[in-house]
Amino acid sequence: MMGPAAAVELTMWVMPVTTNAQHDVPALLAPWLAQHPGTTVRVTVLDWESGWNKITAAAASRRGPDLLELGTTWMPAIAAMGGLERLSASQLAEVDNGAPYYPQLWKTTQVFGRTGVYGLPWYADVRAAFYRTDVFRQAGVDPKQAFSNWDSFRAALEKINGTTVAGKRVAALAYAGKNDWNVVHNLAPWIWNAGGDVLTADAKHSALDSPQALRAIDFYSSLAVEGLVPANALEKDSDILEGAWVGGDYGVIFSGPWLMRRILETPAASLVRTNFDVAPYPAGPHGHATFFGGSNLAIFKGSRHKGEAWELVKYLGGKASQVQLSQLSSMMPARIDAANDPAWTQRHPAFAKLTAIAADGRAYPPIPAWGPLETVYTKHLGQLAELSSGIGDKYSVPAMRALIASTVVEADKVLEEAN
């Protein structure tokens, strides 16, 4: 009645990595399963909203899947809880000690200040400016010049703001306000490019009140205060704004590779598809870094099939599988060779540009307390967006500084427990 003794069923938790992950992930696993007869994989697709609670509950109870996908900012917390299997020296040797992966992403498989690697990078989220070339053309703005620095970027936004294209009045820039989860990721590149950071070098304190960070926050807020980001964008979430950008409501939006899928789903002759391009963040005084995140794969500490789980993690971390996933999902591969593979770079010129932009990608320090810290930042920076909307209290630099000061107090309290 029973199958051969070697029969193994692995359980795997993933996030909605594609629009139909329940179908696409098994397709991704098919080549590996063909090489491992007798092994089956039961895939459970979590969602980003409830996944965190499910994974932390699993980590606390030691009862969970054999392998799982974790957001890069989640991984240190689950690892620090003892929920993940630390990779052995021989396992690390099998993956060339992480050399094939973007170093920024490789760092997210570790815990800040400790030794040990807890998984492999799976796919990447790299942020860039997506802009409408027809809008820029209509306003007589050279995109190359526009994205060269902050001043030229502001000047370009001022010029394109209110441009009418195909009978539609276009607002210059869209970013989400308090009703969104992207608040910190949207702001972080501006802070980095001003020479600031979200944390101090020892990761023990918030660094949002540094002069550089305050300068960036003021610049970023001023785009909304001056009406270059319309107030009606600040009440929406990223998903709605991306749809509105595809629909031609905005000239520029900062987003990630998943937006490509949305663009490429429009008809081949659509305005957006024939009139868009991708650019790096406008350079600040300290460069044009961008947010670099994504997801990693890890083996659950409580797994009873760690050997098989590692084989599967290793396969999914390999070039062929990462290229295949990028075709299914539009997410950028986490491996450098896969992100430079023609199957990715030649799919559309924008994908190649995203690969180039990733060279300036930065990830947050992989601290276990990032989750709570990000919630503190999201709450307070959301209030900042509300302040810069001009509805209610008026934006001023002292008001912004006061808000950031209270953010830092709350953030430091959260970090205090971690130290």
Partner 1 sequence: MTAVSEPGLGALVGGASRASAPRRRKFDAFPYLLLAPAALMMVIVNLVPIVQGFRMSMLKLNQYTLSQFMGAPFVGLRNYRGVLFDATNPVHAGMLGALRNTALYSLLVTLCAVAIGLGVALLLNRDFPGKAAARTLLMLPWVVPTYVVGTLWGFMWQRDEGIINHVLVDVLHLMDHKPFWLIGSNTFFAIVIPTVWRAWPVLMLIFLAALQAVPEELYEAARLDGANAWQRFVNITLPALKPVIVIQVMFQIIDNVYSYNIVAMMFGKGAGYPGEWGDLLMPLLTRQSFSYWRFGEGAAVSFVMMAVMLVFVAVWMRTFRRSMTDEA
Instruction: State the residues that interact with partner 1 by CB under 8 A.
Output: 49, 53, 56, 59-60, 62, 77, 80-82, 177-181, 183, 231-232, 234-237, 368-369, 371-372, 375-376, 378-379, 382-383, 386, 389, 391-392, 409-410, 413-414, 417-418
* Helix (H) / strand (E) containing 14: strand 8-14
Asked if 126 and 257 touch (Cβ cutoff 8 Å), the reply is yes
Query: Shortest distance, CB of residue 379 to partner 1, whole angstroms?
Result: 5
Query: Shortest distance, CB of residue 369 to partner 1, whole angstroms?
Result: 7
CA distance 60 to 54: 10
- Judged by beta carbon, residue 23 or residue 169, the one nearer partner 1 is 169
Q: At what angle do helices 397-418 and 370-388 cross, to 10 degrees?
A: 170
Query: Shortest distance, CB of residue 383 to partner 1, whole angstroms?
Result: 7
User: What is the DSSP pairing of strand 39-45 with strand 8-14?
Assistant: parallel
- Judged by beta carbon, residue 106 or residue 377, the one nearer partner 1 is 377
CA distance 371 to 15: 17
Query: Shortest distance, CB of residue 141 to partner 1, whole angstroms?
Result: 25
Query: Shortest distance, CB of residue 111 to partner 1, whole angstroms?
Result: 12
- Judged by beta carbon, residue 30 or residue 391, the one nearer partner 1 is 391
- Judged by beta carbon, residue 36 or residue 127, the one nearer partner 1 is 127
Query: Shortest distance, CB of residue 364 to partner 1, whole angstroms?
Result: 16
CA distance 418 to 200: 14
- Judged by beta carbon, residue 17 or residue 369, the one nearer partner 1 is 369
CA distance 216 to 284: 9
Q: What residues contact residue 415 under an 8 Å CB cut-off, 6+ apart?
A: 199, 203, 204, 205, 206, 367, 369, 373
Asked if 302 and 168 touch (Cβ cutoff 8 Å), the reply is no
What does DSSP assign to residue 78? Answer: H
Amino acid at 21: A
- Judged by beta carbon, residue 283 or residue 418, the one nearer partner 1 is 418
